[in-house]
Amino acid sequence: MDLAPEDRPLAGLVVLDFSQFLSGPFCSLKLADLGARVIKVERPGSGDLCRNLYLSDTDIDGDNSLFHAINRNKESITADLKNEADRARMRALIGAADVMIQNFRPGVIERQGFGYEDVRGINPRLVYGSISGYGEDGPWRDLPGQDLLAQARSGLLWLTGSADDPPMPMGLAVADMLAGHALCEGILAALVGRGVHGRGARVDTSLFEAMIDFQFEVLTTHLNDGRRPPQRSKVNGAHAYLGAPYGVYETADGYLAIAMTPSLKKLAELMEIEGLSPFYDDPTALMAQRDAIKAIIARAVRTRTTAEWLGVLQPADIWCSEVLDWQQMLASENYRALDLDQVIRRNGGTRLNALRGAIRIDGGTLKSERAAPELGEHNDTVFAELLSGDMPAEGATTARAR
């Protein structure tokens, strides 16, 4: 069941999104899914540079699949922030908005006259969200805020892979996605606060802060264990701070992930593994002798198929899983049961297979068929509503927020 747009928690809220690429637009996507009206502000002529950032050779109705995925369910208007007439219209639109989002390098939006202090004077109830690369202060503030670079500076690359591997980045734009999530969380909190005290707020985060927060669990250990560097396992590395058997093992026909086990002895008995008994009575062995233990387990795992091992281990409450590729995952009954697919459409005919967001509200999913907008597609409607006074007036959502 899909939740109707008017029944979503943010229905009636207006978000003015000046951001581009991934982090800011990902935040506004989450707000749009929750019911907000997201108006994307783009450069005339070129638009969001993400329109031309191709992950593959897949082009859908003139835009790449990445742009479609990250900007569905939004409207697009164009504005030249160096043009005074456009700047005046943006100021008027800010006066009617609930949220503004931007992810320019520190100082850029301020030079255009749309920094927080500027817009707070226009709309004191506005929630203003910003994402930078490394924060508004410090020696890295003016460096490019790009996902791989933020991963590289965060220490994350020394946690993935095995001990003999070089630094290993994650295979996703994880800094962008997590910074977008963090900003969305902060904006939602500020909107709740506005409902209590009536004031807007400024919410700031950065790719770097998102990467540090992502690692808070293991960094906390590091800060309290003498700051010893993390040590990745030499055998089937999966988590630098977890001992054997934690890892991914090759089977006779695929791969098996083994996470937690009640005891090494129980695992050895179930798998009929010899050679592990010297480690049974030493509680420190799972970490201190991690590589030796995992090497013994790895040899045993290769003797049977993945299905055979699952049949042995799962009934005994050994936490384990088959390792699926995308084709297998998409074909799984569990994927289908969660109703994760959605179809979005543009220009009456263009169809894009997409995925819904990860949350459900009152049992309903947050799907929408509305595709990513064409550049400036909603100039006439948005500006007509603004100039005619049909936009929600500032403060119109106070009752909802309370």
Residues labelled as active-site residues = 239
| HEC sequence for 181-214 | HHHHHHHHHHHHHHHHHCCCEEEEEEHHHHHHHH
Helix (H/G/I), strand (E/B), else coil: 380: helix
Nearest 5°: CA angle at 401, between 399 and 402? 65
Cβ atoms within 10 Å of 226's Cβ, excluding its own: 6
Cα–Cα distance between 40 and 31 in angstroms, integer?
Answer: 12
232 within 8 A of 161, measured Cβ to Cβ: yes
| Cα angle 112-29-378, degrees, rounded to a multiple of 5 | 65
Give the whole-angstrom CA distance, residue 323 versus residue 257: 6
Q: Angle at Cα 127 formed by Cα 361 and Cα 4, nearest 5°?
A: 25
Closest CA to 101 of 172, 154, 142, 48: 48
Rounded CA-CA distance 246/335 in Å is: 25
- List Cβ neighbours of 286 (8 Å cut-off, separation of 6 or more): 243, 244, 245, 264, 279, 293
